[in-house]
């Protein structure tokens, strides 16, 4: 059953996927990224790969929220692109 359009015009699989992905929140997109992969990523990497065009500060806020909730844990510190050491995060 198509959850977005239960009645009326049905969407193709591709159309449904696009609409579903647009409906996901920024935090949910980050959670999905970590759920589908293993490894450690910085906020800059998440911004580049998951949320292009999103402000880096917004990505950092979402990752901090996921860290505080226990979904992510801090990994190693690496040099960020702005010359400042930043943490990587991985799924708990």
pLDDT band for position 2 (cuts 50, 70, 90): very low
Q: What is the mean pLDDT of residues 59-65?
A: 93
The rounded distance, in Å, linking the Cα atoms of 64 and 41 is 13
Which uninterrupted H or E stretch holds 29? Answer: helix 26-36
Question: pLDDT for 6-50, tens place per residue?
Answer: 455 666 777 767 766 666 788 989 999 999 999 999 999 999 999
Which uninterrupted H or E stretch holds 18? Answer: helix 13-23
The pLDDT value recorded for residue 14 is 76
pTM: 0.72
Burial class (CB within 10 angstroms; exposed 0-12, middle 13-18, buried 19+) of 67: middle
């Amino acid at each position: 059953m198509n959850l977005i359009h239960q009645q009326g015009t049905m969407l193709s699989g591709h159309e449904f996927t696009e609409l579903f992905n647009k409906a996901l929140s920024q935090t949910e997109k980050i959670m999905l990224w970590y759920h589908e992969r293993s490894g450690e990523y910085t906020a800059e990497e998440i911004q580049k790969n998951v949320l292009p065009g999103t402000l880096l500060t917004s990505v950092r806020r979402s990752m901090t929220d996921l860290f505080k909730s226990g979904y992510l844990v801090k990994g190693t510190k690496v040099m960020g692109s702005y010359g400042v050491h930043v943490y990587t995060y991985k799924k708990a």
